[in-house]
Chain A
């Protein structure tokens, strides 16, 4: 029996009226493309805004005087574009690519997939303009004002329906681990999203629900879609099966059991009932198990692939994403230890953790998928030279960002414990804030090369010769 993954061609959809020319949005993978390219677009925008913010944090007069560009309005725009624009859209692109292949079934509706993508873009734009014009809901991760926030929820229901129908109608009966993660991402989302955005609780109840929602957003929406992509891509990149299916089984089910309990670790030592903290801290520390499972599984799969690493830049990005994912998760587990959280909560250490997650795991993961898509699916040759520069600039920028914020956070924490205050560490933070902005600029420069490279590759195509890596893929045994 052939494996699930080695057939990279998707079955073409039977069109409603056969003699009618199909619309561009009905072609196979058109939804995946719109989602993916939109994700890359928003990634550039969120980085641009991130750099502006980063500069404002050491040179507050920068762009001063325009209310829409004030720090307190740009920051939620950065977050929401980062989460709902870049991460959600980019990885949904990967999802719309993976699902038809893993199920060996055409997408339930390409047209619905494409239309939801366009609608999502304009809706997000509207939501972010709303925040900049002063209509923010004012609570972290729920800033997008009505009606744009509820539209996101409705769109996810349409997207989930589309994907779920495809999975139900599947030809391939086996359910590969990527599909488990996708199911976890699409099923509970409408519940916690609506709860987080529409609930009208007040005070501490509001805070607990806010963090329940937010942590599910990072944990069982963005991270799961990202991991699904890595699980799909890495075995194909190294041309060998996943190290262990038992380990991915353990990793998945422990993640699904513990992640939704993590919300309370954002208010450790805060004015919430002790048992909320204890439950969440326990679950956060238990997250060590799925993290280790991921570490072992990808580590085992990647072992001894140095040759491929040198040749395939897309694969190198996968590994970078993998290392940063494990790093960010272990770091998160450490931050949830109550004594350490007492010192490091409220400092830049959280910012370092967040960006190791999103900038270190999210960005390289999506880049890896994009290179994979260009090479394996479109069978196009991208510029190795530009990609090489892209890789090193991105890596340098990520390290610069995380190290500078990590040191700054540690310094703040120790200073506060020694009786200092945020004001007394203002000057000490200055050099690190500058270093972070410079690192952000470096990452951005890298992404500029990337976008240019993708644009050139798609618009001025050079087809890969027959001996290209996808020939290898045909013989793969990666299910």
Chain B
């Protein structure tokens, strides 16, 4: 075994890596139109929402908040309230914010909880919560983003209110239980 020389090792390794590359990088893009087309009714981000999205990336919100609802028992309440996330829902997301951790709640439908049509109270809540989360939930471990400027807080709020909001305009509006969330 230890007499194999380098060249065949390099060739076989390239083939093995190449097959995984084909399977996980090329195939999803080429073979699957689910991945490459937007969901019906999906709306692109407005300029302020896009700015808010950049702040979300910069401040690392993704490390504690996921943006996906899975069709599993642990997500039962989310599925009942908002439905399961689909590939096309993320069409305009660059970079993606699916997340891998839930130190805090899932945010993929936050715009249907603190809806735009609630008006100023929803914005006041979101902005106040960014500045000092413990004013609303004394046990919260979310960092206080009190160093963001008024403009930044407003853009971030626009982004948060856009999350999932478009879904309400597609089917008959779902009854969303805002209490307790």
Contacts and interface: CB of A to CB of B under 8 A. Distances in A.
Q: Do A and B assemble together?
A: yes
Contacts of A276: 24, 28
A346 B98 CA distance: 11
Nearest to B144: A64
A280 B24 contact: yes
Given A271-B90, A272-B87, A417-B74, A479 B147 contact: no
Interface in B29-57: 29, 32, 34-36, 54, 56-57
Of B14, B20, B140, chain A has the most CB atoms within 10 Å of the CB of: B20
A271 B89 contact: yes
B146 interface: yes
A269 B72 contact: yes
A413 B70 CA distance: 14
Interface stretch (A208-216, A356-364, A378-386): A208-216
B74 A205 contact: no
B90 A187 contact: no
B171 interface: no
A183 B10 contact: yes
A21 B92 CA distance: 60
B14 A187 contact: yes
A208 B62 contact: no
A201 to B, nearest CB: 7
Residue of B60, B70, B145, B147 contacting most chain A CB atoms (<10 Å): B60
Interface string B73-89: 11111000000111111
A325 B45 CA distance: 44
B91 interface: yes
A201 B29 contact: yes
Interface in A123-168: 134-140, 142, 167-168
Contact of B60 (A72, A195, A245, A257): A72
Interface in A77-128: none
B2 A426 contact: no
Interface stretch (A33-41, A52-60, A463-471): A52-60
Contact of B62 (A140, A176, A183, A212): A140
A22 interface: no
Nearest to A419: B77
A261 B74 contact: no
A261 B19 CA distance: 9
A300 interface: no
A138 B159 CA distance: 15
A188 B5 CA distance: 19
Interface residues of B, number: 78
B127 to A, nearest CB: 17
A270 B70 contact: yes
B23 A205 contact: no
Contacts of A138: 54, 56-58, 60, 62, 95, 97
Interface residues of A, number: 90
A166 to B, nearest CB: 11
A182 to B, nearest CB: 11
Contacts of A266: 100
A177 interface: yes
Interface stretch (B101-109, B118-126, B162-170): B101-109
A207 B24 CA distance: 11
B68 to A, nearest CB: 5
Given A183-B13, A271-B68, A273-B35, A71 B95 contact: no
Contact of B13 (A136, A137, A184, A419): A184
B2 A139 contact: no
A343 B74 contact: yes
A7 interface: no
Contacts of B3: 173-175
Interface in A326-367: 342-343, 345-347, 350-351
Contact of A273 (B16, B34, B99, B104): B34
A426 B140 CA distance: 7
Contact of A419 (B2, B17, B21, B76): B76
Given A136-B57, A173-B5, A175-B2, A65 B146 contact: yes
A73 B56 CA distance: 11
A266 B68 CA distance: 13
A139 B24 CA distance: 18
Nearest to A220: B17
A271 B103 CA distance: 20
Nearest to A266: B100
Among A220, A249, A422, the most chain B Cβ lie within 10 Å of the Cβ of A422
Interface of B: 1-6, 9-10, 12-14, 16-17, 20-21, 23-25, 28-29, 32, 34-36, 54, 56-64, 66, 68, 70-77, 84-105, 133-134, 137, 139-147
10 contacts: A137-B57, A138-B54, A138-B58, A177-B2, A187-B13, A202-B96, A204-B28, A206-B94, A270-B98, A479-B2
Interface of A: 56-58, 60-61, 64-65, 67, 70-73, 75-76, 134-140, 142, 167-168, 173-177, 179-180, 183-184, 187-188, 191-192, 195, 200-210, 212, 220, 245-246, 248-249, 253, 256-257, 260-261, 263-264, 266-267, 269-273, 276, 279-280, 342-343, 345-347, 350-351, 413, 416-417, 419, 421-423, 426-427, 433, 479
